[in-house]
Amino acid sequence: MDSDDRWTIPFGGGIGRLVKFGNQPVDLKLQGFYNVENPKGTADWSLQFQVKLLFPKKSAKRKDS
């Protein structure tokens, strides 16, 4: 493998938003990248859509002393 075929250098960005479906918080993200440098035979572009279910811990109420 040539040393020129080892690097992937992505350039891009994305957006995200925290939403609620009923009482369930969900983190949604969409990202797109152009691979400025990439090994032969790999994609020039990549697109990622992520859905993350969040399960926050309920905090106990504190009494002020």
pLDDT for position 6: 84
pLDDT for position 53: 97
- Give the total number of structural domains in the chain: 1
pLDDT at position 65 over 70: no
The CA-atom distances, in angstroms, between 18 and each of 10, 52, 55, 59, 60 are 25, 9, 13, 20, 23
Q: Which domain holds residue 29?
A: 3-53
pLDDT for position 2: 59
Q: What is the pLDDT of residues 5-55, one digit of tens each?
A: 689 999 999 999 999 999 999 999 999 999 999 999 999 999 999 999 999
48 found inside a domain: yes
18 found inside a domain: yes
Decide the pairing of beta strands 45-53 and 9-21. Answer: unpaired
24 found inside a domain: yes
| pLDDT tier, 3 (very low <50, low <70, confident <90, very high otherwise) | low
